[in-house]
Structure 1
Amino acid sequence: MQMDINQLREIEVYRKTNVLAGESGLSNEVLNVTITDAPDAFPWYRTGDFIVTTGYPFTSNKDWKEGLWDFLNEVVKRGGAGIGIKMGRYIPYLPDRVIKFADQNHFPILELPGEPSWTDIIVPAITEINKQQKYELEMTHKVYKRFQTLLKNGSSLEELAELLENFMDCPVTIYIRAFNLIVNTSGVELSQGKVEEIISGITAAPDHTARTIYTHREDFTVRWNYNASRLVSTVFVWGLNAPLSAWKKAALEQMAIITSVETERLRTIANTYQHFRNDFLDTLLSEHTLKREVILRRAKEVDWEMKDRYKVVILDCPEDNTNEGDLPESQRKLNILGDFTNELRWLLPKTLTGLDSQNHLILLVTEDVDEGTISKNLKLMAERLKIKIIVGGLGRTSELESLNSSYKEALLALKVAETEAQGAPRKDMQLWMSDFARLDVERILFSEDPRSESEKLVKEYLHKVIEYDEKNGGEILTTLKTFINNNANYDATAKVMFVHKNTVRYRINKIRKLTTLDPDKMKDLMLLQLAVTAHDLG
């Protein structure tokens, strides 16, 4: 650790000094001790200088108060550590504004004893500074050598963390966020959830940016590793809250570099693995029919534990929120996928993730998770990842062998969401999510094959009606057509069909139960009309 003014005052000749002002700056680092004996010596002042003086140079051609004020301002501006004055002969006392200025700027002003010579004051301090600087150099060399030796021997991240703990004399936690990898040294049992909680508390502060390197708190120091705006990893040193010496900073920087290299190694492996997962996912979502045993075998090959039924979610981030505009689109999407996968491990732990052939982000969500839960967790994820806008489409639950159906529905829903998002005023964070199950007319308007989608509507909404009529010799479908043709008027429908109005009401109520649509609502009636028209044409 470099000498500070507190340590300077432990040297024999400085023990009789009095602190006249700026006591809060006694921890200022002292890099040099020098004397000023000329009024124009300002250009030679350097950062970390502790300057000793009688004050004579400031009184030779101006009032001593003005001379002292100018001197003090210049030293503070140039990053000086503090000043020591032999009071009495030229500087009788410190004016109030000088004391106030020194206190505000944490700049110590010491009263030096009058008896010792300048040599007796300066030489012991310079000797101690040189001694400490030599120690810093030796320790820095030792840090590099020890880390280099362990790396050559192929030591693990755990062994490297223990080495850092030895140098820092404090417990250490290394966290590689993208891969949920956490390494704690002795005495620390910190979970990933707790680390994420600490990170969220710090990164939410307005003064924290992707350029922040160190954060000091009462009970720890953390070194951040960012890649563009994405937090990659952190190194926590617990119990360390003082400024770092040069060699301790070197040790922490070595660990940060090693962590970054390890992160890239893991990313390369993960990207290769994800490539196989994406290929499997693409096949799973295609129109090719795979037997369940084949699907489960291939899922095991890519380390996926698959459930019986899923709903497909397709996501896109249309704006570049990652500050990675110089990366190829495929790599940018892989990076986003990695972030999403990491977050979803906590938010929706059973969800499987990948990219389709169009580089859309695909989520396979288990059937027990509803649309509200999906949207809620996507918003939380976007806030944590600082993503401005997410557009998504949600398909209905499908069997494992027929996920292509849910995928097609999610694609159509995505188009609806994209249309809704276009031209909408931008806010801090927006999620445009469209659920296929809630669509009606849009299913035909946004479909690439309107006829096929119309046939699905017939099957979905009229199948039970037709089946009921055939089984009971009823006229439910005929009543629906007549009701539509008479602008949903009960009296007119009853008149045309030669039945009582209550009979019409009974049949319309039966349609509600069989189709889950309400003919009294304009939107549902329009959907039923489309289904009836498609049925008549087909």
Structure 2
Amino acid sequence: MMNNNLGFTCSDVLLIPHFNEAVVLAGSKGMHRTISRVNVMEVPDVVDWVRPGEFLITSGFPFQDHPEIITDLIPQLVDKGVAAFGIKTKRYIDKIPDRALELADKLDFPIFELPPSTSFSDVVREIMERVLVQEARNLSVLQSRVQKMSQKLLQSEGLDEFLRSLEEMVENPVMIVDDVNQVILSPEAKQLINVVGDHSFLYKLREDSKTGVSFINIHDRRIRVYIANINTKQHHHCLLLLFEYNKEYAVVDQLTIDRISILVGLEMMNINARKEVESKYIDQFLQDWLTGKIGNDTDLKMRADACGYPLDDNSSFVVSVARWLGKKPDSDSLQQLIKQNRSQFLLHGIHVTLLEGELTFLLSKSTETDPEMLLDSIHRQLEGQFQLCIGKNVMYVNQVYDSYLQAKKIHHISTICNLEAANMRFNQLGVFQLLFLLPECEELIEFRARFITPIIQYDQKHNTMLFETLKVYFKNNKSTKKASKELFTHYNTIGYRIERVCEILQLKLEDGDDMLLLQLAVKVYEMSPQNSRTFEHKLTPTVSH
């Protein structure tokens, strides 16, 4: 009589007449493993073709010259989720190596010794007949389960409650992993993740998702994980995981996870659609607030409440704009960063959006909040080398625009002046904050034209690099050796070029005031509007000293 579990197991194999003379040589503790199909092995590289739940049988032909290969094969079959291994002896191999049997015992992997008279066609037919009977029972249970879980989703109880019910149904922990490795956990899965400590194991599960089964180690215990892919159309790397933690999962449990993954995919599509709409409203609200487009405080507070961002009357505000010190991520990558981190930032009172192509943060601070902790949380949360350009602290919601404007100015000046502090405020800019305040007037244009235009015109006429050399020279604190390394040329060449600049402008290299004027002219030129530069190139200055 077959077992009452919802699956045909290795123990049931011994009840089949063709297996009257079969002997379980090893792995007897794994006889509860469920068999879902039969596969015949007559080639050594069968590992690439096996599937979870298979009963693999062989005549022993692939091992006739090297029976020790069986020892190496066993852990690979276990990793693939193979249920059991049956080998004919006496024809191609006399016996199964003792090391292989010891390993199978250790892994609770059943190995059957099949008599020489065993007919593989009869074995396949007999086992599959019984598997199909069990599958009919499974389908009835499966239909009931899917109906119950569908009702859960229709009642809009959310995925957390959905996973709790699914965990109770399959009597094992379950987990949803989305495309960016954010997880939704059943109650018992939360305890497992706390034990594991981090989500690095998810990368291995993703690699193994094509085979549908993987393994993780928890407290020196090897846990099998059944993996079903979730298709949400927008994202194709979401997973539904079943951990074999409390008991061995049956075939019906695997089928349940497979069918339920479709329901989860539909629900995630609905959730993602709602989040996309909500995210657009949030971004538009933050962008309008930061740029001063919301008319009055009443409208601003109403929109903040509608977006789930209620404003605290006791808070002050600071705007920060990220300036990437290395390669700046493209717009899609920045949007993905926002998507991954927005909810986490919000816990700290940090709002984030993409404004004018830059990652922009609005920090909402209560009186007891340490602003440096908020800034540190941004650096910890995001990967990559970037600087936070921090605007002034403002006390009222209608002053946020002023903080944003200052953050933009700092971003602009830091970029030009190559300032690389992790956090940059306006009072850290030194003389450059004064240069930025200079109005774009005729005198300023003439100042730039007096010192810069002749150098640029000389470069254009003679195909030289005097202006570029001048910038690098000042950037490296007038060190010819450091400038030569950056420009990949000899330091004597740098010295010659700087002397040539002084000759053209009728300046003295040893005169500190002359060098200060020249350095200021370079920075003023770099901070000038692009249209002013174009105009200045056309000027013919009168050089005097």
TM-score relative to the length of structure 1: 0.56
Equivalent-residue separation in structure 2 for 1:94 and 1:289 (angstroms): 80
Report what 2:373 is aligned to: 373
Residue type at the aligned position of 1:360: L
Kindly state the Cα deviation for residue 271 of structure 1 after the two structures are TM-superposed. 3.5
Equivalent position of 2:404 in the other structure: 407
Any residues of structure 2 matched to 1:206-217 within 5 Å, and which? 207-208=203-204, 211=207, 213=209
Aligned counterpart, 1:249: 254
Displacement after TM superposition at 1:390 (Å): 3.9
1:399-456 Cα offsets, whole Å, 9 max, x none, are: 223222211222233345556889x9xxxxxx943233433234245x3x4359xxxx
Amino acid at match of 1:131: V
Corresponding residue of 1:393: 389
Mark the CA change 1:73 to 1:137 in structure 2 (over 3 Å): closer, same or farther.
farther
Deviation at 1:4, TM superposition (A): 4.8
Does residue 360 of the first structure (1) align with residue 366 of the second (2)? no
Where do residues 9-24 of structure 1 align in structure 2 (5 Å cutoff)? 9=14, 14=19, 17-20=22-25
Q: Which residue is equivalent to 1:344? A: 345
Amino acid in the other structure paired with 1:168: V
Secondary structure, in 3 states, of the residue corresponding to 2:341? helix
Deviation readout 1:333-367 (Å, 9 max, x if unpaired): 44432322112134x1x233334354533323316
Inter-partner Cα distance in structure 2 for 1:41 and 1:210 = 28
For structure 1, which segment, 300-309 or 44-53, has the greater mean C-alpha deviation from structure 2 after superposition?
A: 44-53
Deviation at 1:379, TM superposition (A): 3.0
Contact 1:23 1:106 in 2 (8 A): yes
Match of 1:310 in 2: 317
| CA distance in 1: counterparts of 2:115 and 2:370, whole angstroms | 78
After TM superposition, give the deviation of residue 397 of structure 1 in Å: 0.8
Kindly provide the CA deviation profile for residues 476-529 of structure 1, in whole angstroms up to 9, marking residues without a partner as x. Answer: xxxxxxxxxxxxxxxxxxxxxxxxxxxxxxxxxxxxxxxxxxxxxxxxxx9xxx
Match of 2:431 in 1: 441
Contact residue 203 and residue 209 of structure 1 kept, 8 A: no
CA contact (8 A) 2:68 2:97 kept: no
Retained in 1: the 8 A contact 2:167–2:174?
Answer: yes
1:450 corresponds to which of 422, 438, 442: 438
Structure 2 gap segments, 5+ residues each: 1-5, 441-515, 521-545
Change (3 A) 1:405 1:18: same
SS at match of 2:65: helix
Structure 2 residue identity aligned to 1:408:
L
> Which residue of 2 is the match for residue 284 of structure 1?
289
The 1-side partners of 2:254 and 2:175 are apart by: 16
Which is higher, the Rg of structure 1 or of structure 2? Answer: 1
Q: Distance in 2 between matches of 1:439 and 1:49?
A: 72
Cα distance change on mapping 1:421 and 1:216 into 2, 3 Å: farther
Change (3 A) 1:290 1:339: same
- The answer to whether the 8 Å contact 2:64/2:92 transfers is no
Would the alpha carbon gap of residues 26 and 388 (structure 1) be closer, same or farther in structure 2, given more than 3 Å must change?
farther
Indicate how the Cα distance of structure 1 residues 9 and 285 shifts in structure 2: closer, same or farther if over 3 A, else same.
same
Deviations 1:230-287 (A, max 9, x none): 9997756577466654542343244444344433433433343343443443343335
How many Å separate the matches in 2 of 1:403 and 1:436? 16
Give, in whole Å, the separation in 2 of the partners of 1:49 and 1:220. Answer: 18
Q: How many residues align?
A: 413
Confirm or deny: 8 A CA contact 1:395 1:408 kept in the other structure.
yes
CA contact (8 A) 1:167 1:251 kept: no
**Equivalent-residue separation in structure 2 for 1:408 and 1:128 (angstroms):** 74
Change in CA separation of 1:133 and 1:399 when aligned onto 2, cut-off 3 Å: same
Equivalent-residue separation in structure 1 for 2:170 and 2:146 (angstroms): 14
Secondary structure of the structure 1 residue equivalent to 2:253: helix
Q: Secondary structure, in 3 states, of the residue corresponding to 2:318? A: strand
Determine the C-alpha separation between the residues in 2 that align with 1:450 and 1:203. Answer: 52
Deviation at 1:221, TM superposition (A): 5.4
Shift of 1:311: 1.0
In structure 1, C-alpha distance between the alignment counterparts of 2:55 and 2:105, rounded to whole Å: 18
Question: CA contact under 8 A between 1:392 and 1:434: conserved in structure 2?
Answer: yes
Aligned to 1:164: 166
Distance 1:269-1:395 versus aligned 2 partners, 3 A rule: same
Q: 1:74 to 1:238 in 2, by over 3 A?
A: closer
Is the CA contact (8 Å cut-off) linking 1:420 and 1:432 kept in structure 2?
A: no
**In structure 2, the residue corresponding to 1:305 is in which secondary structure?**
coil
2:363 aligned partner, one-letter code = L
Q: Tell me the distance in 2 between the aligned counterparts of 1:3 and 1:374.
A: 57
| Contact in 2 for aligned 1:2/1:132 (Cα 8 Å) | yes
Report deviation, 1:29: 6.0
* Residue pair 2:338, 2:352 contacting (<8 A) in 1 also: yes
User: Residues 201, 417 of structure 1: CA spacing in aligned structure 2 closer, same or farther, 3 A cutoff?
Assistant: farther
The secondary structure found in structure 2 opposite 1:372 is helix
Q: 1:204 and 2:200 equivalent?
A: yes
**Do the aligned residues in 2 keep the contact of 1:233 with 1:259 (CA within 8 Å)?**
no
Contact 1:409 1:436 in 2 (8 A): yes
Instruction: Supply the RMSD in Å over aligned alpha carbons.
Output: 5.6
The AA in structure 2 aligned to 1:395 is: G
8 Å CA contact retained: 1:391, 1:418? no
The one-letter code sitting in structure 2 at the alignment partner of 1:83 is: G
